[in-house]
Amino acid sequence: MQTQTPFIHNHQLNVIRKQADFLLKALRTVADRKVLETVRYTSVVNALEAFGELTEEQRELLERLGTYEAAHEIQDYLNALDAYLIPFPDIAPKRIQKLFSKVKKLKAPDLPTLDLHHTTYLRWVDPAVHRLFIVYPRAGDFVGIEGQITATNRKGYCAFCNRHQDLGFFNVKLKGSSPDNLSSVGQYVCMDDEACNHSITDPAALEKFLRSAGK
Ligand SMILES: [Zn+2]
């Protein structure tokens, strides 16, 4: 087999997984062939919508989602898509230090242990000081924000991934005063770094939050 050219971002894989779940549920519960055909069609359309321009082979690969009958076939298919994932860009520990140069005794993430293929945004918590750090790639470089994370001890919808998860309130202090005269911006987000990256299907809300935090 020839080497695949990666073309799937983590959040797009999450879209495909979501559509695969939707199809799987229908395969288990729906007997009507016509209804199943519609579900197959819809799941493929929804998956394709997460992408811009595609080559014929790429489109064909994504359309294959709609052809399976059994759960293990769908699982094998999803696993095979990992070969097409665009990983989170390489980042040197020094670059991370520089992004958070004002933080004393920065607790940096242990990069080699992270699954950077299934990462839309790099995030980690320093539990000693209850601070959440976020690094996001932009235009060949990175932006970083950090702020207080406070467990709410309840579930709700994460502002970044929109899944029902254990939430924390993330509060980022702003430098000087923003145009709206805010001294900080905050959002309810996942407490679990990995869960959020495994759920996020669109980075737009995260990007908007970064902008609101001046990044
Ligand atoms: Zn989340």
User: How would residue 2 be classed by pLDDT, with cut points 50, 70 and 90?
Assistant: low
Instruction: Note the pLDDT tens digit of each residue in 8-49.
Output: 999 999 999 999 999 999 999 999 999 999 999 999 999 999
Ligand 1: centre distance to CA 166 (Å): 9
pLDDT of residue 136: 98
Instruction: Note the pLDDT tens digit of each residue in 172-212.
Output: 999 765 566 778 999 999 999 999 999 999 999 999 999 99
Ligand 1: centre distance to CA 109 (Å): 19
**Average pLDDT of span 85-99:** 96
What span, in angstroms and rounded, lies between the C-alpha atoms of 85 and 113?
18
Ligand 1: centre distance to CA 153 (Å): 15
Ligand 1: centre distance to CA 117 (Å): 17
Ligand 1: centre distance to CA 189 (Å): 5
Instruction: Note the pLDDT tens digit of each residue in 103-120.
Output: 999 999 999 999 999 999
Ligand 1: centre distance to CA 37 (Å): 32
Domains and CATH numbers, the chain: 10-84 (1.20.1280.250), 93-212 (no CATH)
- The pTM score is 0.93
Distances (CA, A) of 35 to 23, 26, 29, 39, 43: 11, 9, 11, 6, 12
What span, in angstroms and rounded, lies between the C-alpha atoms of 3 and 132?
37
Ligand 1: centre distance to CA 128 (Å): 22
What span, in angstroms and rounded, lies between the C-alpha atoms of 20 and 89?
27
Ligand 1: centre distance to CA 31 (Å): 34
Identify which of 78, 70, 72 has the alpha carbon closest to the alpha carbon of residue 47. 78
Instruction: Note the pLDDT tens digit of each residue in 122-172.
Output: 999 999 999 999 999 999 999 999 999 999 999 999 999 999 999 999 999
